[in-house]
Structure 1
């Protein structure tokens, strides 16, 4: 029963166990910290770049022609027992398990007082746990298709759960994000920066909706993205009921309020608000920007988003937080453990097709640099001869941590320009091409300031505009560990990877099988240990 270890390994916290731990807000926060901790681990981050980046066409690896488990994966010559496939599956379920413990444990919290601030503290912890659970399930569904939805409270007599459909998993993710969005403030700042707020929930929800829609086909998902984009970017009004699609709920509004830790109506003081389905969502339009400014309003450079000075800036929506060790201890799994330096110097380098795509764009010198060139901080780029460095993974000399095992910066997961580009894509799908072009060029105009050029994207047909949006996505969002999943959701992974195979000496991408390799196999040990209750994906 090795696949179920996480459900049995309850880490004791002093004299507490899983049955009596979540009695206070402080204890609930400790549980939430443990969920965030998953995002900082080597296992989680290695799976992120291996599946999202190394399997795509924006990079070439230093060892793709050798025989190892990563090489087998990126060449689509793996079997169902590949260790990285298993790790991708288990690390995200580990995160889900921890989130479930917080969500189910919240009902046991006993408040010291009936002040509304006490309810807000619990609600915001619960909302963040829902966001993180949605993120982990999103990682799973885009990698494996439909997966088992684990109950919030595990039953040792019913640990084997069959797979839900892809549609059911996406619906579960959507519900978590929609509920979390009304539970959280727009954005956490100052000492609380790094926590997922309403902006992170809406940004991820727009992405989740896009992954369910098919380009070129009518879908209510595209329409929903335009509504969320108008709210997020243009300041359009959106109510709690709109966000939740409350008309589809079976529970009453007051039952929902109680479950989500809004203060009971009967207990509210005269000056305390009673939220209804008509309550408007917090404004996001002024919280984020395509221009890069820090929390003090200082203007930053375009590249600064990806370095320490750009952490929690106006272009960043959600980050995995790494913090340099205060005691110099190594390998504590909480500081990035040199993940960026590893892939920057030793693992992946920009591909020829990506360099051709970005040629002539003002971001070229910001996002990639050749071996031997000098970076903006005066340091020579010492990647292998003939290789092109991906600068979003670069650690400037001034930000190098004292412990070589630490990471010098946070990992950007959701950035504002992706929200704008999803909005542009959805507008184009809905036939609003003029407005779509306006959003697309809003991203390009900011990039143009790097070299003071004025070239913009041009009006055209649906296909022409879609191709320009996808081009801009590839350039603006490059090397954020998401390219493979993006071309899969666009329905062109086979075409892109087969074309990409012609530029590499060992033809990486030629083995990609359309209709099979868009998702990966369920780990074989999971199929075996459940005696086939968890079924394998077709083609594996």
Structure 2
């Protein structure tokens, strides 16, 4: 489903949907090509929902979306390949005026969300007449309720007060206004509460009344998806100015209900549950029926329905396997000298395409979040620290590299010592503070181009070296439900429950994948925390360990009112620039300019 640039009046984007192609094209004409009658057919309802699912590929997994989910936080700093806009997001240095990339990122979420919300409003308003069978009608419309809530949740947590539209717009308008945050949350919770009972329990399940198989298979929303998001919405609202007295209790109750009833949900070939080993949650072999996957944006090599194109650099692509990659093919045999220009590595499928947009903030990642690398194996499951030689005939000052055997690049999170550094035939990179302290042979500091890479999102099965990943972008993971419950319990003053929830994940984190060094005999015991250790900072550090790089961090810091404090504490690139008002993103100016009748549409404070 191809999405075209939208030229539309603020928030009233009307798509042109055909059942055969599901294409959306916004017209400058003041009349809509989608009429209410379109949604009175089962094909129109299915086409509308399918088109919305396709549009998610315009957001999660793309470079622009990476910028405002992952940049300007405590975990990450900018890499050498980032654009002007990426650098602006990462450093908060004049970032609303580095227009092109920032505009594209923010405009993408704002405009796509409201275009799709209008489609979903049409489905919900006119779709009931498309079905005579009540269970079928319920199953279809529940998808629209979930997706509308999903979009409004991300809008309100990104931009604050936003317009609230619940009916299908057929006539363009030049006026609009923001709704109170409380009203937006009320709609989100209503939609998710209903969806959590009306959605399918498992993707593609049979609708009992008709015997028909639901068309919403694969990674489409289920009851568990809605329960996850409902618990997180309660949690987020509880921190906000619209908080209600029972929000944290509702967040905890909903999360625990999902945990306790997990056997009722899942893919057809497996119930929801934690893998015994953290690494298995990210194993490509488990993508089709991942027991920890509650919701994902699907990709495939199908050019028509999967939006696949060979070796793309933009568009509806999953770049998670690219963006965190260092520029490993440019490390030469005599590094840091340029005397020998032979690269120790060449680009290949296994090691991926080095887009190098984002790199770990290793003074935080190494020293704080992943400080325990002995009992907790999540650091080693998250980051690639060795590159095995794949380029023939390469000789460094310390010896000739044997392809397939020798390590060409090594990035240990510690100083291996002078003797090992001098004997190691490949090239070593270390955290800058360690490299400075070592001051010896083969002790190179990380740079904006050379740094450990996230390996959780690797896709060794993509067709070509420069192809984007065809793996799903997993947005909701079951492991996060424990962290939502822990945060809610902490906010209620119930640190015993918070610690118990966190310890489930920490127990699992001590496990080792096959072939890894054995864990210490007391690793599980050492991983347990006490209620006294639970703080919001500990929870945020635990979220880093469990969910590093998963397009959640900016929202996590904003929700917990920790963004400015933790950026100033840990991120030297952004510490001097970040300001209190930047806990919201600016409304795209183009959207503001489209309101020409009635009160001027307000920008967020500070911008």
Do these two structures clear the TM 0.5 threshold for a shared fold by scoring above it?
A: yes
2:589 matched to which residue of 1? Answer: 524
Which residue of the other structure, out of 462, 485, 488, is the alignment partner of 1:426? 488
Q: Is the 8 A contact 2:77 2:571 kept in 1?
A: no
- Indicate yes or no: 2:151 matched with 1:136: yes
Shift of 1:17: 4.7
Cα distance change, pair 96–459 in 1 and its aligned pair in 2 (3 A): same
2:110 matched to which residue of 1? Answer: 89
Which residue of the other structure, out of 222, 227, 236, is the alignment partner of 1:211? 236
Cα distance change, pair 394–329 in 1 and its aligned pair in 2 (3 A): closer
Q: Is the 8 A contact 2:128 2:137 kept in 1?
A: no
Cα distance change, pair 494–42 in 1 and its aligned pair in 2 (3 A): closer
Once the two structures are superposed, residues 232-271 of structure 1 have per-residue CA deviations (whole angstroms, 9 ceiling, x without a partner) of 1224xxxxxxxxxxxxxxxxxxxxxxxxxxxxxxxxxxxx
2:254 matched to which residue of 1? Answer: 228
Gaps spanning 5+ residues in structure 1: where?
112-117, 236-283
Q: Is the 8 A contact 2:273 2:478 kept in 1?
A: no
Cα distance change, pair 122–159 in 1 and its aligned pair in 2 (3 A): farther
Cα distance change, pair 365–189 in 1 and its aligned pair in 2 (3 A): farther
Rounded to whole Å, the distance in 1 between the matches of 2:552 and 2:141 is 27
Rounded to whole Å, the distance in 2 between the matches of 1:409 and 1:29 is 24
Cα distance change, pair 109–457 in 1 and its aligned pair in 2 (3 A): same
Cα distance change, pair 14–496 in 1 and its aligned pair in 2 (3 A): closer
Once the two structures are superposed, residues 203-232 of structure 1 have per-residue CA deviations (whole angstroms, 9 ceiling, x without a partner) of 0111111111239x9941111112212321
Which residue of the other structure, out of 338, 355, 376, is the alignment partner of 2:366? 355
Shift of 1:339: 1.6
Once the two structures are superposed, residues 311-355 of structure 1 have per-residue CA deviations (whole angstroms, 9 ceiling, x without a partner) of 232111111111122689627999953522331332112221112
1:255 matched to which residue of 2? Answer: none
Which residue of the other structure, out of 69, 73, 76, is the alignment partner of 1:56? 73
Partner of 1:21, secondary structure, is: helix
1:494 matched to which residue of 2? Answer: 564
Which residue of the other structure, out of 393, 400, 403, is the alignment partner of 2:462? 400
Q: Is the 8 A contact 2:324 2:359 kept in 1?
A: yes
Give the count of matched residue pairs: 472
Give the TM-score, by structure 2 length. 0.70
Shift of 1:44: 7.3
Q: Is the 8 A contact 2:381 2:455 kept in 1?
A: yes
Q: Is the 8 A contact 2:195 2:226 kept in 1?
A: yes
Q: Is the 8 A contact 1:41 1:333 kept in 2?
A: no
Once the two structures are superposed, residues 279-320 of structure 1 have per-residue CA deviations (whole angstroms, 9 ceiling, x without a partner) of xxxxx455369xxx9579997852232243222321111111
- Normalized per residue, the structure richer in helix is 1
Cα distance change, pair 122–469 in 1 and its aligned pair in 2 (3 A): same
Rounded to whole Å, the distance in 2 between the matches of 1:186 and 1:296 is 11
2:281 matched to which residue of 1? Answer: 305
Once the two structures are superposed, residues 136-161 of structure 1 have per-residue CA deviations (whole angstroms, 9 ceiling, x without a partner) of 11111111101001232114264522
Shift of 1:512: 0.8
Once the two structures are superposed, residues 43-85 of structure 1 have per-residue CA deviations (whole angstroms, 9 ceiling, x without a partner) of 8743432211123221222248x87222222222223654132
Q: Is the 8 A contact 1:338 1:404 kept in 2?
A: no
Give the TM-score, by structure 1 length. 0.78
Partner of 2:239, secondary structure, is: coil
Shift of 1:409: 0.5
Gaps spanning 5+ residues in structure 2: where?
1-6, 22-32, 206-215, 326-354, 391-403, 412-447, 513-517
Which residue of the other structure, out of 522, 527, 541, is the alignment partner of 1:456? 527
Shift of 1:413: 0.4
- Superposition RMSD on alpha carbons, in Å? 3.6
Larger Rg: 2
